[in-house]
A and B are shown apart, each in its own frame.
Chain A
Amino acid sequence: MFGLSTFEYDDDGFRTCGVTGLDVHESAEDMVKLYGLTAIVALLIGGIFAFFVAMTRWELIGLLNPSDFYRYLSVHAWYLLIFWMVFMEIAILYVGGPFVLGRRLSLPWLAKAAYGLMVVGAVVITYGIWTQSVPDQAPLLTSYAPLPSPASFYLGVDVFLIGALVAALPFLATVWREQREHPSKTLPLITFGAFITSIVAAEAIIGGLVTFVPALLWRVGWIPHIDAAWYREMYWIVGHGTQQINLLAMITIWYFMTHVVGGAEVASEKVSRFAFVLYLFFINMGAAHHLLSDPAVGTVWRMWNTSYAAYGAVLASMIHAFAIPAGLEAGRRRKGKGGGLFGWLWSAPWKDPGFSATILSIILFGFLGGITGVMMGQMQLNMTWHNTLAVPGHFHATVATGTTLAFMGLGYYVVRLVFGREWVGGILASIQPYLYGGAMGVTVLMMMYLGVLFGVPRRHPSVMDIPGTEFSFAVARPFFAIFGITATLAILGGALFVLIAVASLLAGTAFTGDPRIEALRAAADGGDRADAPHHQSMRGTFIFTLLFLGTFVVLWALNWLLLSQVWKVGP
């Protein structure tokens, strides 16, 4: 598809990947290209809108007027939080299923039909946002009823969600057929992770239809009333659920990329799979943390959903936080790539953007996104986070640094391994993940400071000038200046990725293999069988995770200290 690939298929439509050793079928590869490239187009559009949003919130520039700001913010949110992510995730399902299992994609016509639905849905959503006028308001991501959004917007969301649900079916059918043929065989870890991702995704999407179909009927007048509390509870099944698809897809990518590029092995199949199962049962309930400062849900409900339920998922994330670097450490030690405490890291391919993007994704997601998610997920702390700029700070840490970096890392290898093109840009490709990740990391830190330390609200075009009052957030101005500069750098870093990816597809030379990766594979083949990964020392990883836990505890204590300074609230 697209005629951009340098690979040839055999008579059955298969080819063997020279790097991963996977047998890849044309039917699956075509769809990975289609969904993957569409995702990159969404990243490009969302990134352009990110510039307008950031330059409005940096009020020194103050680019947009209020009504334009909400419109642009809505486009930015839908293109990056939904379209960029979901199109990429479908591609990841088709990699995790057919690619890894060495099968053709089952029901390929359904994958095409789903793609059509998703694109139509995305276009209708965009139309709805762009043509919105009073009494309708810009939907942003949440379109909280009873504030009306355009009917076309709700319709577009319904079509898009149905498309995404259908797109998971070819993946599930492929796994089904594999299991029918080999009932006693265990799925590879990557496929298992992708499978759990698809289940969590289906739950999220069904929640979305439960929300947005009645919302559409309400907007066109067939249902007279929609309850705000009911809407919120249903909405967050999909609102946060979609971001949990990102999380699971990202973790699956972490296992995949650290293995392919870094030589990681599975430290413990049991522990890693157990963590995925924890997600399956608990992570959707974690979405309740959006309702911790809500009037219509009881205290016990809030406590249960954000403690037992959420900590089931938090525990899972902490397991992966150990298992993935440990797999890298063990795998590299086993291949003779690391002595001492951190030798396995010093010797790693840091100039390879696929590797560095993955590692930066792991670090930034954990330290910035994961910890802050647990903070605001504590019922009382939530009062100091709720609806402040710290909330977008948190989810930019998870999605814009964590997931986006992981997908960029994967994107570099889609260019190489799916399209068979070497990257253009040389040193620029090597620095891109550092530029993007570093700048975005500082940006999200500023958003969190602004939100928690100054109470700066989210979704506001101007906090330095609030009409009708002398009051303003002017003391926060220096933080906004740093925010504005680093956000611009991050957007440039993102643009650089799109540029390198597109230029490589059009003008890259044929990818003929990477000597560092070949050396890893040679070492793996010659490795000592008895010398299993779990016998390797994981002391480097242990130190990193202890550092992580220490940071976690300190930030947690600081947040509670800040809360204790607030006046008395509640009984």
Chain B
Amino acid sequence: MDENSPLDPPEGDWWNRTVNRRETIWLGLSGAWALSLFGWMLGWTRAGEQNQIGPTYRVSPDAFQAKVAEYKNAAGALDVDGESLLVPQGKDVYLGALQWAWDGLPAILQPGETYRFHLGSYDVQHGLSIRRATNLSQQISLQVLPGYEWVVEMSFDDPGTYHVICNEFCGTGHRSMHGRFVVREHDPGEARRPDGDSAGNAAYGGWFTGDAKGGATENYGGSTADETGSDEVTVTVGAEGNGGTFAFDPPAVAVSPGTTITFEWVSDNHNVLVESRPDGAGWEGHDGLEGEGFSVDHTFETEGVYTYYCQPHLSMGMKGAVEVK
């Protein structure tokens, strides 16, 4: 029997047996190193410039969504390279994560300005992952949770484009979740009111503007597809538009009484909720979240205007209307 084997019980007073000098030195080195790691981390909160520290508030996803909508309504817009960028009015920047987009982007920020980023989610967990376009090594990630609003200050000295992706798995469309903001000197006075006040958008009681429930519907250009006389009409659910696959296409359609409209899902995670309908109409929409390939139809008999929306993507402006005449 080998008394120094790990397979046998140690004999005698093993607790007081001498420890090899080099092993003792190593213990000391290890302990000192652990203390140094700790000290450095603490010191960095004082002297370092990168600390993911900031207040967190409990807020329901709906309430956070309303805050982002309010922020977007107050913000200006600036056209840069053919794209309309949100101009924050003040030092607060809101980012709402949803399946599968970043609400509040694209935006433009002033270099050197310290912004308070308000991070939250409308549905599931997401990962805010920001990198500078010209140097991918400059990148950070922060977890975004539904039910919590995290306020983290950030300031960007280097002008340029910063790309935002989601790096927490949030469903099948996860990989498509991209947004960006631009850091560039600009005159906030140049910013105009955001889209949504063109004449055509007054239609349907302003349903497609940001003044009604949810965001402005960008894929609604002011005209209604005229399908009166057709027996069957198709509206795609989750078509390209509104900053992702967040559109009903066509957003507004006119049909004759007795027409059957088929709603066809072409991307995942959408539903159809009825906002308003004529008296006596029985259309209930479809409140279950469905994916690509799903379809549902309804025959519209009662004349009048029906408005509806997709609940997860209301803030992105995923709204529609049916006019029966």
For residue A570, which residues in chain B have a CB less than 8 angstroms away from its CB?
49-54, 152-154
For residue B291, which residues in chain A have a CB less than 8 angstroms away from its CB?
133-135
* Residues A566 and B17 in contact in the complex (CB < 8 Å), given A135-B289, A188-B8: no
The verdict on A169 contacting chain B, using a C-beta distance below 8 Å, is no
For residue A294, which residues in chain B have a CB less than 8 angstroms away from its CB?
143, 145
For residue A566, which residues in chain B have a CB less than 8 angstroms away from its CB?
50, 138-140
Bound: A385/B17 CA distance, A: 43
Which one of A20, A189, A318, A535 lies within 8 Å of B26 (CB-CB)? A318
* Residues A293 and B52 in contact in the complex (CB < 8 Å), given A147-B169, A307-B37, A318-B30: yes
Chain A residue, CB-CB nearest to B166: A457
For residue A322, which residues in chain B have a CB less than 8 angstroms away from its CB?
23, 26
The verdict on B199 contacting chain A, using a C-beta distance below 8 Å, is no
How far in angstroms is the closest Cβ of chain A from B68?
16
How far in angstroms is the closest Cβ of chain A from B136?
5
The verdict on A525 contacting chain B, using a C-beta distance below 8 Å, is yes
Contact with A along B126-167 (1 / 0, CB 8 A): 010101110111111111111111101111111000010111
Chain B residue, CB-CB nearest to A228: B145
Chain A residue, CB-CB nearest to B119: A295
Bound: A570/B45 CA distance, A: 9
Do residues A134 and B172 form an inter-chain contact, with CB atoms below 8 A? yes
The verdict on A549 contacting chain B, using a C-beta distance below 8 Å, is yes
Do residues B29 and A549 form an inter-chain contact, with CB atoms below 8 A? yes
Contact with A along B14-30 (1 / 0, CB 8 A): 11011110110111011
For residue B56, which residues in chain A have a CB less than 8 angstroms away from its CB?
295-296
For residue B40, which residues in chain A have a CB less than 8 angstroms away from its CB?
378, 560
How far in angstroms is the closest Cβ of chain A from B123?
7
The verdict on B34 contacting chain A, using a C-beta distance below 8 Å, is yes
How far in angstroms is the closest Cβ of chain B from A521?
8
Do residues A571 and B153 form an inter-chain contact, with CB atoms below 8 A? yes
Do residues A388 and B22 form an inter-chain contact, with CB atoms below 8 A? no
Which one of B10, B29, B50, B163 lies within 8 Å of A380 (CB-CB)? B50
Bound: A560/B124 CA distance, A: 31
Chain A residue, CB-CB nearest to B24: A271
Which one of B34, B48, B50, B136 lies within 8 Å of A315 (CB-CB)? B34
For residue B171, which residues in chain A have a CB less than 8 angstroms away from its CB?
137, 147
Interface hub of A295, A306, A539 (most chain B Cβ within 10 A):
A295
Identify the stretch in A35-43, A158-166, A465-473 within 8 Å (CB) of chain B at 4 or more residues: A465-473
Identify the stretch in B173-181, B186-194, B202-210 within 8 Å (CB) of chain A at 4 or more residues: B173-181
Residues of chain B from 213 to 266 with CB closer than 8 A to chain A in the complex: 244
The verdict on A541 contacting chain B, using a C-beta distance below 8 Å, is yes
How far in angstroms is the closest Cβ of chain A from B155?
5
The verdict on A427 contacting chain B, using a C-beta distance below 8 Å, is no
Which one of B123, B133, B136, B167 lies within 8 Å of A460 (CB-CB)? B167
The verdict on A555 contacting chain B, using a C-beta distance below 8 Å, is no
The verdict on B269 contacting chain A, using a C-beta distance below 8 Å, is yes
Interface hub of A186, A296, A476, A566 (most chain B Cβ within 10 A):
A566
How far in angstroms is the closest Cβ of chain A from B64?
12
For residue B146, which residues in chain A have a CB less than 8 angstroms away from its CB?
146, 228
Do residues A266 and B37 form an inter-chain contact, with CB atoms below 8 A? no
Which one of A232, A318, A571 lies within 8 Å of B51 (CB-CB)? A571
Bound: A539/B269 CA distance, A: 62
For residue B1, which residues in chain A have a CB less than 8 angstroms away from its CB?
21
Interface hub of B7, B141, B180, B268 (most chain A Cβ within 10 A):
B7
The verdict on A265 contacting chain B, using a C-beta distance below 8 Å, is yes
Do residues A299 and B45 form an inter-chain contact, with CB atoms below 8 A? yes
For residue B5, which residues in chain A have a CB less than 8 angstroms away from its CB?
188, 259, 265-266, 524
Which one of A21, A188, A264, A386 lies within 8 Å of B127 (CB-CB)? A386
Contact with B along A1-40 (1 / 0, CB 8 A): 0000000000000000000111000000000000000000
How far in angstroms is the closest Cβ of chain A from B316?
13
The verdict on B275 contacting chain A, using a C-beta distance below 8 Å, is no
Residues of chain A from 257 to 271 with CB closer than 8 A to chain B in the complex: 259, 264-271
* Residues A269 and B10 in contact in the complex (CB < 8 Å), given A295-B144, A326-B23, A388-B141: yes
How far in angstroms is the closest Cβ of chain B from A459?
4
Do residues A384 and B145 form an inter-chain contact, with CB atoms below 8 A? no
Residues of chain A from 296 to 321 with CB closer than 8 A to chain B in the complex: 296, 299, 303, 306-308, 311, 314-315, 318-319
For residue A306, which residues in chain B have a CB less than 8 angstroms away from its CB?
41
Chain B residue, CB-CB nearest to A450: B136
Do residues B33 and A549 form an inter-chain contact, with CB atoms below 8 A? yes
Do residues B142 and A567 form an inter-chain contact, with CB atoms below 8 A? no
Do residues B2 and A134 form an inter-chain contact, with CB atoms below 8 A? no
Chain B residue, CB-CB nearest to A463: B175
The verdict on A180 contacting chain B, using a C-beta distance below 8 Å, is no
Bound: A568/B130 CA distance, A: 13
Do residues B41 and A295 form an inter-chain contact, with CB atoms below 8 A? no
Do residues B176 and A467 form an inter-chain contact, with CB atoms below 8 A? yes
For residue A477, which residues in chain B have a CB less than 8 angstroms away from its CB?
none
The verdict on A255 contacting chain B, using a C-beta distance below 8 Å, is yes
For residue B290, which residues in chain A have a CB less than 8 angstroms away from its CB?
134-135
Chain A residue, CB-CB nearest to B291: A134
Bound: A102/B110 CA distance, A: 73
The verdict on A562 contacting chain B, using a C-beta distance below 8 Å, is yes
Interface hub of A265, A293, A296 (most chain B Cβ within 10 A):
A293
For residue B138, which residues in chain A have a CB less than 8 angstroms away from its CB?
565-567
Do residues A568 and B154 form an inter-chain contact, with CB atoms below 8 A? yes
Do residues B9 and A471 form an inter-chain contact, with CB atoms below 8 A? no
The verdict on A387 contacting chain B, using a C-beta distance below 8 Å, is yes
The verdict on B125 contacting chain A, using a C-beta distance below 8 Å, is yes
For residue B25, which residues in chain A have a CB less than 8 angstroms away from its CB?
542
How far in angstroms is the closest Cβ of chain A from B125?
5
The verdict on A563 contacting chain B, using a C-beta distance below 8 Å, is yes
Bound: A85/B140 CA distance, A: 32
Q: Which 5 A-B pairs have the closest CB atoms?
A: A295-B150, A455-B139, A134-B291, A457-B167, A265-B4
The 20 sampled A-B contact pairs (Cβ below 8 Å) are: A70-B172, A134-B290, A146-B125, A186-B9, A188-B6, A189-B10, A229-B145, A267-B20, A295-B143, A315-B30, A326-B22, A386-B143, A452-B137, A460-B175, A461-B175, A466-B165, A538-B22, A567-B156, A568-B155, A570-B49
B→A interface (CB under 8 Å): 1-10, 14-15, 17-20, 22-23, 25-27, 29-31, 33-35, 37-38, 40-42, 44-45, 48-54, 56, 114, 119, 121, 123-125, 127, 129, 131-133, 135-150, 152-158, 163, 165-172, 174-176, 178, 180, 244, 268-269, 288-291
What 6 new A-B contacts, CB under 8 Å, besides A466-B165, A569-B153?
A: A232-B143, A457-B165, A457-B166, A469-B180, A471-B178, A569-B52
